[in-house]
Structure 1
Amino acid sequence: MSRIGFIGTGHIAAPMVRFLVGKGHHLTVSDRNAAVAHTLAQSHGVTVAPNQAVLDDSDVIFLCLRPLIAEAVLETLVFRKDQQIVTVMAGVSLSRLRTLCAPASKIVATIPLGYLEQGGCPLPACPDAQLLGALFAPENPVFAVTDERALNMHFAVCAMLPGVLDLMATGAQWLAEETGDAAQSDFYAAQLIGGYLSAMTKEAGALARERDALATKGTISLQMTQSLRAAGTHAALRDTMAAIGNRLEGTT
């Protein structure tokens, strides 16, 4: 059992807290988001404490702050050399964190999503996967990425998720307008995509192969893919991911 603390207790932190409690770890969470923290205390028995008390009671620290306030919060805290740090904050570099969290120097960055609690959430890890693997695998696949730039590019692809959900919401809304059944339309769109993806194999090239198996000559599936490309959807996606990557790299 590890003593684990969370600085920042919100939408991203809560599922990780619940998962780790289920693994038998001792959890202390900060009171920065008091409503979420106290809900976790009532439902999962975690300890709620001020930020410095979280650090003092923990050997592994998760940093789940909004990047805009991260430096202001972390500059006020005193870390220990033996502590291990996990950051989920996009745009706050590992080198900067090593300064803010000194003398603690063992820092790993990752990208969790809420469904980690149920398992199956891929967790890229930089610079190595050892700590995250011990905490979240085998339920969630953990893999090391080559460097911090590679992690930032994973962040950019992760930002694609709400864009895809936005397209799905548009499709569901259109279906609701045509059928008069909003609830069933949302369910159908979500289950259609989610079920298909869960049944897919996950090796390299699988997405394109599945697309091509559906979008064959003369089909409405091909009409859809061709129309989206002609409208510039794919070019806009690539341009936006590149812009996000540049933003995280500090080049814009």
Structure 2
Amino acid sequence: MRVGFIGTGHIAAPMVRFLADKGHDIAVTERSATISAELVASHGVAVSDPQSVIARSEIVVLCLRPQHAHAVLSPLEFRELQGVISVMAGITAAQLATYCDPATRIVQTIPLGFLEKGGCPLAAFGDTDILATLFAPENPVVAITDETAFNAHFAICAMVPGLLDLMATGSDWLAAQTDNADMAEFYTTQLVAGFLSAMDKDRANRLVSERDALATDGTISLQMTDSLRNHGAHDALQTTLSEIGHRLNGTNT
């Protein structure tokens, strides 16, 4: 299919590479110039202005930073039968309908960069068939029927850099104990990645059951989980998730 990207940044690039590797005809806008140039060199994508990208594309992927959406999208003209995928957090379905009118085949989703390798769950609100056509089955589409619930998935997605930040702190601590920063980061990341990849993905309550299998009486694992709770880590996470949800839903309570 002919797929166009409006905005070419950190999220768009792996999507472009995934689709180009599957044989789709891809066009991107120039910004960011560095990333678009890299995609031209590596995957032979076309680069053009936003309106020209829309004109040649059957499906358009909107990858703008939310604060730039109005200025970039308002002047553009979409087509009635065009498919539109938005990955812009905080831009509502109602706003997208206005920006993309007369196009009505619109879906919102939440990709992360590992989509390029498959296995990235794509929470989707709207016309999920557009998303599945391009990214499934390698990346499972998780249909969400309520926009507030969809925004809650955006909040969970934001938890990923928070967890990475905690892992970086742990890696720094290990580096200070061993005087070997590279080994510390390798060990920390491989430990978590290996554990998660080995988990039984078809079993219910696996997070709790795996935690409890490790954090048994008298273990340092239990000391870790208890201490994190006692120092408010879980309360901070719940509060932050709620604050992000309120922000995305346009509420203050």
TM-score by length of 2: 0.98
Q: Which residue of 1 aligns with 2:172?
A: 173
CA shift at 1:127, angstroms?
2.2
Are 2:106 and 2:127, in contact at CA under 8 Å, matched by a contact in 1?
A: no
Structure 2: distance between partners of 1:241 and 1:176 = 30
Aligned to 1:17: 16
Q: Quote the Cα distance in structure 2 between the aligned partners of 1:61 and 1:88.
A: 11
Amino acid at match of 2:242: A
Give 1:215 deviation, angstroms. 0.3
CA–CA distance in structure 1, aligned partners of residues 31 and 74 of structure 2: 16
1:114 is matched with which residue? 113
Q: Which residue of 1 aligns with 2:43?
A: 44
Paired amino acid for 2:248? L
C-alpha separation between the residues in 1 aligned to 2:227 and 2:116? 37
CA contact (8 A) 1:128 1:145 kept: no
2:228 is matched with 228
- SS of the equivalent of 1:11 reads coil
**For the residues of structure 1 that align with 2:50 and 2:160, how far apart are their CA atoms?**
31
Give me the whole-angstrom Cα distance separating, in 2, the residues matched to 1:176 and 1:112. Answer: 32
Structure 2 match to 1:239: 239
Partner Cα distance (2:223, 2:49) in 1: 56
**Number of the residue aligned with 2:124:** 125
Moved over 3 A (4+): none
Return the offset for 1:140: 1.1
How large is the RMSD of aligned CA atoms in angstroms? 0.8
Runs (5+) with no aligned partner, structure 1: none
Aligned residues: 251
- Cα distance, 1:146 vs. partner? 2.3
Letter in 1 for 2:40: A
SS at match of 2:61: strand
Asked whether the 8 Å contact 2:13–2:39 carries over to 1, the reply is yes
State the partner residue of 1:192. 191
Amino acid at match of 1:214: L
CA contact (8 A) 1:21 1:27 kept: yes
For residues 125-164 of structure 1, the C-alpha deviation after alignment (integer angstroms, 9 at most, x for no partner) is 1124222112111111112012111110000011111110
Find the residue that maps to 1:4 and give its secondary structure: strand
